[in-house]
Structure 1
Amino acid sequence: MKYAKNILETIGNTPMVKLNKLTEDIDALVLAKVETFNPGNSVKDRMAVKMIEDAEADGRLKPGGTIIEGTSGNTGMGLALGAIVKGYKLICVISDKQSKEKMDILRAVGARVVVCPTDVEPTDPRSYYSVSKRLAEETPNSWYVNQYDNMSNTAAHYEQTGPEIWEQTEGKITHFVVGVGTGGTISGVAKFLKEKNPNIKIWGIDTYGSVFKKYHETGVFDENEIYSYITEGIGEDILPKNVDFSLIDGFTKVTDKDAAVYTRRLALEEGIFVGNSAGAAIKGLLQLKDEFKPDDVVVVLFHDSGSRYVGKMFNDDWMRERGFLDEEITKAEDLIKDHSDKPLVIVRTEELVSHAIDRLRKYKISQIPVIDTNGFVGSIDETDLFRSYVEDKDIADKPIREIMGKPYPVVKANTSIEEISKLINKDNQAVLVDLGNGKHHIITKHDIISSIK
């Protein structure tokens, strides 16, 4: 009989799949190493178990101990599988930009999950780097994994992933393309492949807001390049020891939007349901197409499963809120379709200014139309309201009609964006859209800006 003695024995030997539609314009054979076939659905299973086993071997991890790690979710899943099989407790420290699915999955496999803010410096005591270290110091019989600087990370891919790729391509691989986060995958695979054939080119995929590309090209760690980004699993605001820049031939950067769009395209056009970093990897590969020749064999690694991004990249509302959906917006009705069902917030001429202030605050809006029994007769704008308050502190108890501005222009639902843009200026901050049946909706400068791709 053939069976695995436990779930850890099913890690590795993931399939290589030829890409077809998305790579039609590339004159080379493009193969995807699909790591979602690992039991924890990501490439991180490999290094998680390797790090546990190495820590057991040298005594850093003792029986009944607690494993502690800062993770974007996937390493945590791999560690959880190891912890379950080997009898350890697990605390995962995760940043709040990671998908809810990742957090729920970690809890489902027994991990305690601690969530930290994303947009803080690595040295900030609230960062997930700092919180991980603190918990390790405070927790008896614990082991802090530190996947960024733990060289067992790279070793796992040197021992497993690299040899698999070499064998599956019969040594014909010419290029390896992969997203870079902790650096273990790219460095371990690169070390193995370049020992086999020094001419193999290694390309890292980076994201905007990360320091890798510039540091590789100039040796400068530029803190001005560091800012918050959406793409998960790649890029860093630190230089992990696992990133061996000497083994990497070059980097290309991919935007958050392109990473999200190509994540969806992989599912729709290739039938490969993978995660956010895979979208970045395939878009980065397409950006590098001039590097490839007809006889080349290009391998791109897809880190994890699309199931961890169902509430994000695979959710139309999430994509639309960030301007990532390439929908054609040409008319007034296109601008308001996502919220046209919501009632229009208004104030009446005889209400007090304090009522308008309350509504601006409650609904987090900046403009309100004013009505009376005849219809729309004026408008309230937060900037004008603030100016009036500076001049007269008693303004809150005055009726709206005494301070309201001109009524907003009213346009039809099929009015073009160009015409609406002309109506919005420093003297007029919004327009009203007539939806028929007495219903109206408001379009502001913010709506126009949000529609720009």
Structure 2
Amino acid sequence: MAAARATVAVVATVSVAALSYFLCDFLSQKTQLPRSTKKKKKRQLGTRSGVIGAIGNTPLIRINSLSDATGCEILGKCEFLNPGGSVKDRVAVKIIEELVVQALESGKLVRGGVVTEGSAGSTAISLATVAPAYGCKCHVVIPDDAAIEKSQILEALGATVEKVRPVSITHRDHYVNIARRWAAEANELAAKHPKINQGNGEMSEEVNGFHPDEGRPAAVILNDCKGGLFADQFENLANFRAHYEGTGPEIWEQTDGSLDAFVAAAGTGGTVAGVSRFLQDKNPNIKCYLVDPPGSSLFNKVTRGVMYTKEEAEGKRLKNPFDTVTEGIGINRLTENFSMATLDGAFRGTDMEAVEMSRYLLKNDGLFLGSSSAMNCVGAVRMAQLLGPGHTIVTILCDNGMRHLSKFYNDEYLSRFNLKPSAVGLEFLGIK
């Protein structure tokens, strides 16, 4: 009996020892990171230099609901995690580095000068976010039908906001044209009247033909004394370069080059152009597609070679500049940035699809996305349907829904356009 107990004790001891050995070995393997992973971990934990250093290197996530529904890997580049809240942070930094820094170094602009832009919101917010890091102020001309949150954010960031009625780009008072003219006037004022105020913060009676009461608040004119630069996001190819040199390479690295398609909408065209050009330079077999909202003529430019939209021809435009509830995408002219895109085709997206997609992703993935991001996801599903299961598709999650509460996420506003979301799944895209 004693011998039996001794035998059991020995076996138990050996078993515990063996278990401990294998457990320790297992844990050591779990905690032992590969060399490449450790390096990556170290980079991630390192500090970055100010708000500028926090821009870019955004995560690429699998959108689970869309991937599972289509049989494709649908990946979203989380640009809403940039400090200014959108993909436009990259553009703002690139424009300022190429335009403003050079002007500061050459003496064409001094610290405290003003960067001005005509924007529907996101680029303006990004410029207002990064401009102070370069010692500059920001003046924004914005259409007065943009979501109110955008102008509120801009004002909170310290930007001067000038709201104007929406008109065609050919009109001298289109918000982009006003911004361009404003920058030229600021430079003229700076050159001819370096000391605009009287030393007590009050305006002189008249400055270079401009009276404080004529058209702009005195505070705007006061800022002119140190000059201004027009960012020109639509035509400035720094926009394209920001994505060719940044967003595109990040997507390539994050997918190890194993992607089949990229799809995104276009406003200025910088994102879709920079990313598509880079990816196809790396691998011409990657399909790059545009998804275009209602009222925009880019779909026909890509598919038929002409700038045309039926809303214009039939006179059914509900609002200017184009007939859609999505903001920041769609356009009726060919910009320098969009001209750089290399696209294989285009999809037409609808407002209803964008609205339904935004609610679907919020409910199924916890993704609270803005209108352009929702349209991009519509395009990603269309791409998956075109290619079939087993492919990897990347799109851009431009911004989140926080700056779209008063319009895109406002049921009362949407009801004016008969855009009440009701889908249970993805049946609005033909998936049951």
State if a TM-score over 0.5 links the two structures: yes
Q: Which residue of 1 aligns with 2:186?
A: 139
Q: Which residue of 2 aligns with 1:269?
A: 364
What whole-Å deviation, never above 9, does each CA across 1:358-378 have from its counterpart, x for those lacking one? Answer: xxxxxxxxxxxxxxxxxxxxx
Paired AA for residue 287 in structure 2:
K
Is 1:205 aligned to residue 291 of structure 2? yes
SS of alignment partner, residue 195 of structure 1:
helix
Give the distance between the partners of 2:308 and 2:391, measured in 1 at CA.
35
Partner SS for 2:348: strand
2:389 pairs with 1:283:
no
Q: Which residue of 1 aligns with 2:220?
A: none
Partner Cα separation in structure 2 for residue 167 and residue 240 of structure 1: 29
Aligned residue in 1 for 2:172 = 125
Q: Distance in 1 between matches of 2:388 and 2:282?
A: 20
Unaligned runs of 5+ in 2: 1-44, 188-226, 424-432
Q: 1:59 and 1:326 mapped to 2: Cα distance? A: 49
> Could you tell me which residue of structure 2 aligns to residue 91 of structure 1?
139
Is the aligned partner of 1:16 residue 2:64? no
- Residue of structure 1 equivalent to 2:271: 185
Could you tell me how far apart the structure 2 residues matched to 1:49 and 1:83 are? Answer: 8
Q: Which residue of 2 aligns with 1:256?
A: 351
> Going by fraction, where is strand more abundant, 1 or 2?
1
Alignment of 1:161-172 (within 5 A): 161-172=247-258
CA-CA distance at 1:260 after TM superposition: 2.1
Contact persistence 2:266–2:292 (CA under 8 A):
yes
- 1:14 partner SS: coil
Tell me the amino acid that sits aligned with residue 155 of structure 1: R
- Where does the alignment leave 5 or more consecutive residues of structure 1 unmatched? 329-453
**Structure 1 position 245, deviation (Å):** 6.0
The equivalent residue for 2:123 is 75
For residues 49-448 of structure 1, the aligned pairs below 5 Å read: 49-59=93-103, 62-64=109-111, 65-118=113-166, 120-140=167-187, 141-222=227-308, 225-226=311-312, 227=317, 228-229=322-323, 230-244=325-339, 247-326=342-421
Deviation at 1:231, TM superposition (A): 1.2
Residue of structure 2 in register with 1:32 after alignment:
76
Following superposition, the deviation at residue 14 of structure 1 comes to 0.7
Partners of 1:209 and 1:179 lie apart in 2 by 13
Separation in 1, partners of 2:276, 2:308? 25
Partner of 1:389: none
| Percent of residue pairs bearing the same amino acid type | 36
Q: For 1:150-178, what per-residue CA distance to the aligned partner results, in whole angstroms no more than 9, with x for missing partners? A: 00000011111011101110110110111
Count of matched residue positions in the alignment of Structure 1 and Structure 2: 327
Inter-CA distance 295–327: structure 2 relative to 1 (3 Å threshold): closer
Aligned to 1:427: none
Task: Using the TM superposition, give the Cα deviation of residue 281 of structure 1 relative to its aligned residue in structure 2, in angstroms.
Answer: 1.1
Task: Name the SS of the counterpart of 2:117 in structure 1.
Answer: strand
Q: Is the 8 A contact 2:273 2:341 kept in 1?
A: no
How far apart, CA to CA, are the structure 2 residues paired with 1:309 and 1:269? 20
Once the two structures are TM-superposed, the CA of residue 23 in structure 1 deviates from its matched residue by 4.0
Question: What is residue 387 of structure 1 aligned with on the other side?
Answer: none
Question: 1:315 offset after TM fit, Å?
Answer: 2.2
Normalised TM-score (structure 2): 0.72
C-alpha distance in structure 2 between counterparts of 1:299 and 1:246, whole Å: 16
Q: CA deviation at 1:193?
A: 0.8
1:45 corresponds to which of 77, 83, 89: 89
Once the two structures are superposed, what CA deviation does each residue of 1:19-65 show, in whole Å capped at 9, x if it has no partner? 12234331311111111110001000001101100013543862222
Q: Hey, what's the Cα distance between the residues in 1 that align with 2:277 and 2:124?
A: 25
- Name the aligned partner's letter for residue 121 of structure 2: G
Q: What stretches of structure 1 move > 6 A for 4+ residues in a row?
A: none
Which secondary structure state, in structure 1, belongs to the residue aligned with residue 413 of structure 2? Answer: helix
> 3-state DSSP class of the match of 1:41?
coil
